[in-house]
Structure 1
Amino acid sequence: MTAAIPSAAIPPAAPMPGTRRARIAVFSGPTATIQNSEPLVTSNAARRKHGLPLLTSSDGEPLRRDIVRMQRLAAPVTVYVEAFSAHPLEADAAELYAAPDGWIGTDGEFRPERSGDGDTPVYEVTIGPEDGLFSLPYMARTRDGLAWDGDGMEALGPGERTRQTFYPDASRIFEEIDRFGLDADGVNNMLSSRGDFTFHRAAPSGGYLSGLPGDRRSDHGEGDIPPETRGEHFFSYSPPHLAHGPAKQTLARLTNVVQTTLDGGGYDGAIWLEGSPAVEETGYWLGLLIDTTVPISCNSAQRPHGALSADGDRNLVDSVDYIRSRIWADADGVDRVGSVLVIDEQIFTARDAQKADARPGGYVATGGHGGVIGTIGAPGDPMLTFWPAKAHTHLSEVNTRRLPAAVTGVTRVDGAVTTVEVPVKDASGALLEDAMPTVTIVKYARYGMDDFSDAAALQVEVTARIERSLQASPLSGFVLEGNAPFGRGDESQMAALRRAVAHGIPVVRTSRGNAEGMVPRVPGDVFVAGSTLTSTKARLLLMACLLRFGALPPAADPEHPTAEEWDAIREHVARYQAVFDTH
Structure 2
Amino acid sequence: MGSAIALGFAPAQSALAQAATAAKAQVVILATGGTIAGAGASAANSATYQAAKVPVDKLLASVPELGNLANVRGEQVFQIASESFTNEYLVKLAKRVSALAKQSDVDGIVVTHGTDTLEETAYFLNLTVHTNKPIVVVGSMRPGTALSADGALNLYNAVATAASPSSAGKGSLVVMNDEINSGRDVAKSVNIRTEAFKSPWGDLGMVVEGKTYWFRAPVKRHTTNSEFDIDKIDALPQVDIAYGYGNANDIAYKAFAANGAKALIHAGTGNGSVANQVVPALRELRAKGIQIIRSARVVGGGFVLRNAEQPDDQYDWVVAHDLNPQKARILAALALTRTNDSKDIQRIFMEY
Equivalent residues of 2:180, 2:204 under 8 A apart: yes
Report the Cα distance in structure 1 between the residues aligned to 2:319 and 2:42, rounded to whole angstroms.
Answer: 50
Report the Cα distance in structure 2 between the residues aligned to 1:164 and 1:507, rounded to whole angstroms.
Answer: 35
User: 1:28-177 alignment to 2 at 5 Å?
Assistant: 28-30=31-33, 32-39=34-41, 166-168=53-55, 170-177=56-63
Instruction: Give the counterpart of 1:506 among 276, 287, 291.
Output: 291
Instruction: Give the counterpart of 1:464 among 247, 255, 279.
Output: 255
Shift of 1:440: 1.1
Unaligned runs of 5+ in 2: 1-19, 44-48
Code of the residue aligned with 1:514 in structure 2: it is V
Equivalent residues of 1:272, 1:283 under 8 A apart: no
Q: CA distance change for structure 1 residues 520 and 165 in 2, over 3 Å: closer, same or farther?
A: closer
Report the Cα distance in structure 1 between the residues aligned to 2:197 and 2:301, rounded to whole angstroms.
Answer: 16
Corresponding residue for 1:528?
A: 318
Report the Cα distance in structure 2 between the residues aligned to 1:40 and 1:516, rounded to whole angstroms.
Answer: 37
The Cα offsets for residues 258-292 of structure 1, whole Å up to 9 and x where unpaired, read as: 22222233311110111122211111111111111
Q: CA distance change for structure 1 residues 360 and 40 in 2, over 3 Å: closer, same or farther?
A: closer
Q: Percent identity?
A: 25
Secondary structure of the corresponding residue to residue 319 of structure 1: helix
Code of the residue aligned with 1:440 in structure 2: it is D
Secondary structure of the corresponding residue to residue 177 of structure 1: coil
RMSD: 2.6
Q: TM-score, normalised by structure 2?
A: 0.83
Q: CA distance change for structure 1 residues 528 and 515 in 2, over 3 Å: closer, same or farther?
A: farther
Q: CA distance change for structure 1 residues 447 and 276 in 2, over 3 Å: closer, same or farther?
A: same
Secondary structure of the corresponding residue to residue 24 of structure 1: strand
Equivalent residues of 1:439, 1:479 under 8 A apart: yes
User: 1:343-382 alignment to 2 at 5 Å?
Assistant: 343-355=176-188, 356-366=190-200, 370-377=201-208, 381-382=211-212
Secondary structure of the corresponding residue to residue 491 of structure 1: coil
Equivalent residues of 1:39, 1:165 under 8 A apart: no
The Cα offsets for residues 89-110 of structure 1, whole Å up to 9 and x where unpaired, read as: xxxxxxxxxxxxxxxxxxxxxx
Report the Cα distance in structure 2 between the residues aligned to 1:38 and 1:460, rounded to whole angstroms.
Answer: 39
Report the Cα distance in structure 2 between the residues aligned to 1:519 and 1:391, rounded to whole angstroms.
Answer: 19
Q: CA distance change for structure 1 residues 198 and 548 in 2, over 3 Å: closer, same or farther?
A: farther
Equivalent residues of 1:301, 1:312 under 8 A apart: yes
Equivalent residues of 1:311, 1:360 under 8 A apart: yes
Code of the residue aligned with 1:27 in structure 2: it is L
Structure richer in helix, relative to its length: 2
Code of the residue aligned with 1:438 in structure 2: it is Q
Shift of 1:164: 9.0
Matched, 1:516 2:301: yes
Q: CA distance change for structure 1 residues 40 and 383 in 2, over 3 Å: closer, same or farther?
A: closer
Equivalent residues of 2:26, 2:71 under 8 A apart: yes
Report the Cα distance in structure 1 between the residues aligned to 2:290 and 2:214, rounded to whole angstroms.
Answer: 40
Report the Cα distance in structure 1 between the residues aligned to 2:105 and 2:302, rounded to whole angstroms.
Answer: 41
The Cα offsets for residues 119-142 of structure 1, whole Å up to 9 and x where unpaired, read as: xxxxxxxxxxxxxxxxxxxxxxxx
The Cα offsets for residues 338-378 of structure 1, whole Å up to 9 and x where unpaired, read as: 11111111111112212223221122223xxx131111126
Equivalent residues of 1:290, 1:394 under 8 A apart: yes
Shift of 1:539: 0.6
How many equivalent residue pairs?
322
Instruction: Give the counterpart of 1:391 among 217, 221, 229.
Output: 221
Q: CA distance change for structure 1 residues 236 and 267 in 2, over 3 Å: closer, same or farther?
A: same
Corresponding residue for 2:266?
A: 480
Equivalent residues of 1:483, 1:511 under 8 A apart: yes
Secondary structure of the corresponding residue to residue 201 of structure 1: strand
Shift of 1:388: 0.8
Corresponding residue for 1:537?
A: 327
Secondary structure of the corresponding residue to residue 547 of structure 1: coil
Q: CA distance change for structure 1 residues 305 and 504 in 2, over 3 Å: closer, same or farther?
A: same
Shift of 1:192: 1.2
Shift of 1:320: 1.6
Q: CA distance change for structure 1 residues 164 and 508 in 2, over 3 Å: closer, same or farther?
A: closer
Equivalent residues of 1:515, 1:532 under 8 A apart: no
Report the Cα distance in structure 2 between the residues aligned to 1:338 and 1:312, rounded to whole angstroms.
Answer: 23
Equivalent residues of 2:180, 2:205 under 8 A apart: yes
Q: TM-score, normalised by structure 1?
A: 0.52
Q: CA distance change for structure 1 residues 302 and 580 in 2, over 3 Å: closer, same or farther?
A: same
The Cα offsets for residues 449-469 of structure 1, whole Å up to 9 and x where unpaired, read as: 5xxxxxxxxx23222222221
Equivalent residues of 1:318, 1:345 under 8 A apart: yes
Code of the residue aligned with 1:174 in structure 2: it is L
Report the Cα distance in structure 2 between the residues aligned to 1:317 and 1:165, rounded to whole angstroms.
Answer: 19
Code of the residue aligned with 1:167 in structure 2: it is V
Code of the residue aligned with 1:352 in structure 2: it is D
Corresponding residue for 2:160?
A: 321
The Cα offsets for residues 8-40 of structure 1, whole Å up to 9 and x where unpaired, read as: xxxxxxxxxx9951111211124x111123459
The Cα offsets for residues 23-78 of structure 1, whole Å up to 9 and x where unpaired, read as: 11211124x1111234599xxxxxxxxxxxxxxxxxxxxxxxxxxxxxxxxxxxxx
Secondary structure of the corresponding residue to residue 246 of structure 2: coil
Corresponding residue for 2:134?
A: 295
Report the Cα distance in structure 2 between the residues aligned to 1:391 and 1:326, rounded to whole angstroms.
Answer: 20
Stretches of 4+ moved more than 4 A in 1?
Answer: none
Q: CA distance change for structure 1 residues 164 and 374 in 2, over 3 Å: closer, same or farther?
A: closer
Unaligned runs of 5+ in 1: 1-17, 42-150, 152-162, 179-189, 206-234, 238-243, 330-334, 402-428, 450-458, 553-571
Code of the residue aligned with 1:478 in structure 2: it is L
Q: CA distance change for structure 1 residues 308 and 254 in 2, over 3 Å: closer, same or farther?
A: same
Report the Cα distance in structure 2 between the residues aligned to 1:165 and 1:363, rounded to whole angstroms.
Answer: 20
